[in-house]
Structure 1
Amino acid sequence: MIEHTRSHQQPRRIGLLTAGGDCQALNPALRALTLGACVTHDWEVYGFKDGYLGLQEGRFKRLTPAHVAGIQGIGGTILGTGRGQSGSVGSIDEAVERCREVYDDLGLSTLICLGGDGTQRFARRLHEQAGLNIITLPKTIDNDIRGTDVTFGFDTATHIAAEAIDRLHTTASSHHRVMLLEVMGRNAGWLAAASALAGGADVALLPEIPYRLDRVVDAVKDDVSRGRSYSIVVIAEGAVSEERAATGAPVRLHSAAMELVEQLPELAAAEVRLTSLGHVMRGGSPTSTDRILASQLGARAIELAEAEVYGVMVSVQGAELKPVPLTEVGGEPRSVPLDHPLITSLRAIGTALGN
């Protein structure tokens, strides 16, 4: 259940932090949050440095409209980000208590946390265990947060991968090679599916669909039989073969790409090259789509703070931005449903999925 609380502290102060991995649209979100709070409501805004680490250690700076002027096109985060606990803090419970002390000492009425699944889980602890008034925004290039249709950062990362595929098409066709492109996404295939569809890949291997090596080999050979002198294979970093999946062992990220670059040259009788985009997918300027989404989510978070609706993440559900209880957000990552339009579209145009 979404909780409503009341506070009459004046002037009102809110805290902001960006935690977990960076992505391209954090700054547009911080800009919208700061402007919405300062300009619309005349609140004071405090940004904590390096995510929850800065909150635990009391490292912050006052944010004003001047601090966020022009940052909507800049990647990364002006606050810095981080993972885990401060070295001076022992257990998670101690970290939660330290965050509560800093929150209270600063006289905050609301803390708005921007981040992925780990950020969402710790935010829930702060709300339930320490009683902080928490609102979160869904940030990750992986697009794997439960409770929302999309996260900011995903569109920009997809654009980067699609552009890489465009470039690989030209060199692959010139050298008559099989080009493997590994993309991020952890154990969810959103990035692999979207970039494969956008870039016109011949094969897309997703964690949700364990692949058979012989089917991948057949797909690469089929490209040749259809008059193509090359093939593009997009591999999610969490992709796994049927053989490995059957063992029940934990998936090792990058294992599929490393195995295929060794196996395909002999089995497909082709030259094979591997490109792994890695953290390139997190860098650079955000697309206009991500800037708009992050700004809208930030503006909506300020509306919820004004209404004193806490313990929620601002989610995208169709054309609406809705508060979702943090109890519905954490847990296992959101996988790509097998009937999702991304997958059905890939199948419809003949993209091989390895099964």
Structure 2
Amino acid sequence: MAVRKLGVLTSGGDCPGLNAVIRAIAHHAVSNYGWELWGIAYATQGLRQRQAIAIYPHSFDRQGPDPLLCSGGTILGSINRGDTLAQQAEILAGYADLGLDALIGIGGDGSLAILQQLARAGGWQFIGIPKTIDNDVAFTERAIGFDTAIHTVAEALLNLGSTAASHDRIMIAEVMGRQSGHLALHGGIAGGADVILLPEIPYRLPELCHYLQQLRDRWQRRYAVIAIAEGTHHPPEVDRSHAGLGEQLAHAIAAHDARLEARVTVLGHVQRGGQPVASDRLLAAQMGYAAVERIAAGASGEMMAWQGGRVVGVALDSVCLHSPTLVDPHSALVDTAAGLGIFLGDRNLAPWRGSACPTH
């Protein structure tokens, strides 16, 4: 069936680069194919409530650079909750009432799985684009928002390092990543962290404290910066009565060695905000363009993936089956971190069994 009306929505937690994807889709779909582009407000909620706005190229850049290219968040709004069976039926009816011929959804693995199920139930033509600051969607080396989040985390760690040095303290930064530690690993290396703790690699408290003591005694480094992913598992000797992963670690370090004073900063949702960096804007342009091309070719049930320097289409069912992808404790990047002298825990204790899909 020929496409006349194309829908686009953003789903799940926001991140930088979403608006740049919408912009790319608008330029290609409307200018080159002559389709109508309708932005669906608040993901599946907008389908259920029949809330859609027409999007045109150059709607925002007539007086200067296009803010869609460089603004964070999403102009369409987003939600990160599921739908009841009754709501799902209304979503399918809403899609039909809006008269959409195809849909592009921008989301993480959970959102894309939900949209894929709806598309199958409703017979929609559907293409997904991956976005997540966790960078744990299978079969793609990069997802929208990840590079900007790396920059945000790295800058925060550098800033924490300067205040840590001024007061001879240990600064602990909690980084997002409940299941995977890609953001903490990349941001930690780029931000000069001395310690990076990940969900994928166990650590022992005595070894961590010995490392911090060695920084002081051998290298005369009286401060340190620790990046800890929020999904990291503490060893049994860490007292969990304190609120927060970072606070638990700070108290455990101080209890082990009174010289090691630690303070905690939870980076939180600042990691989701801000202007997308150039590499995220480039990825958004390429994925938005490629998604329109796949719609024009009649493809459905695919996700746009970045592999080997180009965008390819991969089966969404396979993506959902293999996500989330975790940090390989023996990957080249982890080897690099270890080679730089960063404490990562004990990789030999990591229960890693490999992965059938491309990793990062």
Same structural fold, with TM-score higher than 0.5 when normalized by the shorter chain: yes
Contact 2:26/2:37, CA 8 A, preserved across alignment: yes
The aligned residue for residue 69 of structure 2 is: 72
Deviations 1:279-325, CA, capped at 9 Å, x for gaps: 00011101001011011100000100110110010011111211111
Secondary structure in 1 matching 2:26: helix
Which residue number corresponds to residue 324 of structure 2?
333
Residue matched to 1:237: 230
Aligned partners of 1:330, 1:68: CA distance in 2, in Å?
35
Question: For residues 211-242 of structure 1, what are the alpha-carbon distances to aligned partners after superposition, in whole Å with 9 as ceiling and x for unaligned?
Answer: 21112111111110221111111100111124
- Partners of 2:137 and 2:237 in 1: CA distance: 26
Quote the Cα distance in structure 2 between the aligned partners of 1:55 and 1:262: 48
SS of the residue aligned with 1:23?
A: coil
- Are 2:268 and 1:278 equivalent residues in the alignment? yes
1:96–1:125 contact (8 Å) kept in structure 2:
no
TM-superposed CA distance for 1:130, in Å, is 2.0
CA distance in 2, matches of 1:66, 1:80: 20
Structure 2 vs 1, CA of residues 244 and 76 (structure 1 numbering), >3 Å: closer, same or farther?
farther
* Structure-2 residue corresponding to 1:349: 340
Matched, 1:264 2:268: no
| 2:193 counterpart residue number | 201
Which of residues 2, 9, 27 in structure 2 aligns to 1:8?
A: 2
Equivalent position SS for 2:150: helix
CA distance in 1: counterparts of 2:135 and 2:74, whole angstroms: 18
For the 8 Å contact 1:30–1:68, the answer to whether it is kept is no
Which one of 282, 285, 302 corresponds to residue 295 of structure 1? 285
C-alpha contact 1:52 1:83 (8 A) present in aligned 2: no
Q: 2:312 aligns with which of 310, 322, 336?
A: 322
Q: Identify the match of residue 125 of structure 1 among 117, 127, 136.
A: 117
Comparing 62-71 and 194-203, the one that deviates more: 62-71
Query: Are the equivalent residues in 2 in contact too, given 1:179–1:272 (CA < 8 A)?
Result: yes
8 Å Cα contact 1:166-1:199 kept in structure 2? yes
Counterpart-to-counterpart distance in 1, 2:119 and 2:29: 21
CA distance in structure 2 between the aligned counterparts of 1:241 and 1:185, rounded to whole angstroms: 15
Q: Which runs of 4+ in 1 moved over 4 A?
A: none
CA distance in 1, matches of 2:338, 2:120: 44
TM-score (norm: length of structure 2):
0.89
What secondary structure, in the 3-state scheme, does the structure 2 residue paired with 1:67 have? coil
**TM-aligned CA deviation for residue 176 of structure 1:** 0.5
Structure 1 range deviating more: 264-273 or 199-208:
264-273
Mapped pair 1:221 → 2:190: no
CA distance in 1 between partners of 2:32 and 2:166 (Å): 56
Report how far residue 46 of structure 1 moved: 0.6
Aligned counterparts of 1:121 and 1:255: Cα–Cα separation in 2: 30
1:248-263 equivalence runs, <5 A = 255-263=244-252
CA contact (8 A) 2:147 2:277 kept: yes
Give the deviation of 1:244 after TM superposition. Answer: 8.9
Q: 1-side partners of 2:235 and 2:316: how far apart?
A: 34
Mapped to 2, the partners of 1:212 and 1:351 lie a distance apart of 15
Q: Which residue of 1 aligns with 2:25?
A: 33
SS in 1 for 2:269: helix
- Amino acid of the residue matched to residue 279 of structure 1? H
Name the stretch that deviates more: 131-140 or 64-73: 64-73
What is the rounded CA distance, in whole Å, between the counterparts of 1:243 and 1:325 in structure 2? 41
Deviation at residue 204 of structure 1 after TM alignment: 0.4
**What residue number does 2:148 align with?**
156
Q: 1:328, CA displacement in angstroms? A: 0.9
Give the 3 Å change call, closer, same or farther, for CA 30–24 of structure 1 in structure 2: same
Aligned equivalent of 1:248: none
Tell me how far 1:85 sits from its aligned partner.
Answer: 4.7
One-letter identity of the residue aligned with 1:173: A
Distance in 2 (alpha carbons) for counterparts of 1:68 and 1:311: 31
Q: Does 1:142 align with 2:131?
A: no
Q: Does the CA contact (< 8 Å) of 1:34 and 1:68 recur in 2?
A: no
Q: Deviations over 1:192-220 (max 9, x none)?
A: 10011101111100000022111211111
Report the CA distance between 1:21 and its aligned residue: 0.4
1:327 Cα deviation from its structure 2 partner? 0.5
Q: What code does the residue aligned with 2:209 have?
A: V
Contact 2:45 2:91 in 1 (8 A): no
Q: Within 2, Cα distance between the matches of 1:326 and 1:115?
A: 12
1:38-58 deviation per Cα after TM superposition (whole angstroms, max 9, x unaligned): 111110011010111111111
Q: Secondary structure at the match of 1:171?
A: helix
Which letter does structure 2 place at the counterpart of 1:241?
Answer: H
CA contact (8 A) 1:51 1:80 kept: yes
C-alpha RMSD over aligned residues: 1.8
| Shift of residue 16, structure 1, vs aligned partner | 0.4
Distance in 1 (CA, whole Å) between partners of 2:209 and 2:237 is 17
Deviation at 1:98, TM superposition (A): 2.0
Which AA in structure 2 matches 1:315?
A
Unmatched runs of 5 consecutive residues or more in structure 1: 1-6, 246-250
One-letter amino acid matched to 2:342:
T
